[in-house]
C-alpha cells in the first residue's frame, strides 16, 4: 500500500488560504444572489417563504459538496451528491439569470461566482480522491493527452486494456504494449504475413495472454525455428544430420 501524502507546514498554510478563499467566494455568491432570487421568488408567488428559497438552495449546495468531500475521503463516494450539487448550482445561475434577463453582461456576472466555487470544490475533491486512492493502492493513472491526439485509435485500445484488466501504471501498460509489438514483429518475421495461421499455438499464446494484461516474459526463449525437412539420400541411408 502506498503511503499517505504527508502534509508539510507549507501545505497546511496553502490549504488554509484555499479554505478561506473558498469561504469568501461562497459568501460573496450567496450575498450576490440572495436579493435576486428572493425577488424572483416573490414574483412567482412564494409569499412569506420567498426569503428562504435562496438560503435553502445555497445551503443545499454547500452541504452536498461538503458531504461529497467527506464520503470521498472515507472512500465511500456517492456520485448523486455531486450531481445534485451541480444541478442546484445550475438552478442558482438560471434563477439569477432570469432575474437579470435582458442584460447579457449581468447574466454572465451572476454566473461567475457559482462557477468559481464549483471549480474550487471540484479541485479539492480531485485531490482528496487521488490521495485516498493512492492510500488504498487503487489509483489508476491516465493516458497522456498527447497520445490521444497523435494516435487516437491505438490509444483507445490501450486505455481499454487498462480499464478492463485494471493495470494501474501507465508506464507498465506502455512497456507491455511495446513488448507485445516486438513479439508480434518477431512472429511475422519468422512465419511471414500469414503468421497468425502458420505460427504454432505455443508461439501465439503469449500474444493472447498479453491482451489479458499478462506481461510477456523477457527471459523467455526466442521463437523456435520451424523444423527443416531433409530428404534422405538414395539407397536408404540415414538423412543428413541424423545418427545412423
Q: What is the pLDDT of residues 15-62, one digit of tens each?
A: 888 888 888 887 887 777 787 788 888 888 888 888 888 888 888 888
d(CA 140, CA 160): 13
pLDDT score of 192 = 85
| 167/140: higher pLDDT | 167
Q: Is 73 in contact with 95 (CB distance < 8 Å)?
A: no
Q: What is the pLDDT of residues 127-149, one digit of tens each?
A: 777 776 655 555 567 778 888 88
Confidence of residue 238 (pLDDT cuts 50, 70, 90): low
Nearest-5° Cα angle at 94, 91 to 97: 150
Q: Is the pLDDT of residue 220 over 60?
A: no
pLDDT score of 114 = 75
Most confident of 30-34, 200-204, 207-211: 200-204
Averaged pLDDT of the chain: 75
Q: Is 168 in contact with 139 (CB distance < 8 Å)?
A: yes
Q: Is the pLDDT of residue 243 over 50?
A: no
Q: Is the pLDDT of residue 106 over 50?
A: yes
Q: Give Cα 47 to chain centroid, integer Å.
A: 46
Q: What is the pLDDT of residues 75-101, one digit of tens each?
A: 787 888 888 888 888 888 788 777 667
| 98/186: higher pLDDT | 186
**Domain map of the chain by residue range?**
9-135, 145-211
Contacts of residue 82, Cβ cutoff 8 Å, sequence gap at least 6: 64, 65, 68, 125
Amino acid at each position: 500500500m502506498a503511503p499517505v501524502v504527508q502534509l508539510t507546514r507549507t501545505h497546511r498554510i496553502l490549504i488554509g488560504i484555499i479554505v478561506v478563499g473558498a469561504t469568501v467566494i461562497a459568501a460573496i455568491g450567496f450575498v450576490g444572489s440572495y436579493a435576486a432570487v428572493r425577488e424572483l421568488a416573490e414574483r412567482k408567488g412564494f409569499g412569506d417563504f420567498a426569503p428562504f428559497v435562496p438560503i435553502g438552495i445555497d445551503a443545499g449546495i454547500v452541504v452536498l459538496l461538503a458531504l461529497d468531500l467527506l464520503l470521498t475521503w472515507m472512500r465511500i463516494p456517492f456520485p448523486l451528491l455531486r450531481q445534485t450539487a451541480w444541478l442546484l448550482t445550475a438552478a442558482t445561475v438560471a434563477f439569477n439569470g432570469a432575474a437579470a434577463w435582458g442584460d447579457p453582461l449581468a447574466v454572465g456576472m451572476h454566473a461567475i461566482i457559482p462557477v468559481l466555487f464549483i471549480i474550487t470544490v471540484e479541485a479539492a475533491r480531485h485531490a482528496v480522491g487521488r490521495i485516498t486512492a493512492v492510500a488504498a493502492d487503487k489509483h489508476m493513472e491516465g493516458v497522456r493527452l498527447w497520445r490521444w491526439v497523435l494516435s487516437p485509435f491505438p490509444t483507445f485500445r490501450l486505455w481499454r486494456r487498462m480499464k478492463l484488466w485494471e493495470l494501474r501504471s501507465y508506464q507498465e501498460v506502455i512497456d507491455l504494449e511495446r513488448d507485445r509489438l516486438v513479439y508480434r514483429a518477431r512472429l511475422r518475421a519468422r512465419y511471414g504475413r500469414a503468421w497468425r495461421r502458420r505460427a504454432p499455438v505455443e508461439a501465439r499464446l503469449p500474444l493472447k495472454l498479453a491482451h489479458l494484461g499478462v506481461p510477456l516474459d523477457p527471459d523467455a526463449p526466442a521463437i523456435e525455428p520451424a523444423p527443416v525437412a531433409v530428404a534422405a539420400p538414395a539407397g536408404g541411408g540415414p538423412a543428413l544430420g541424423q545418427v545412423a
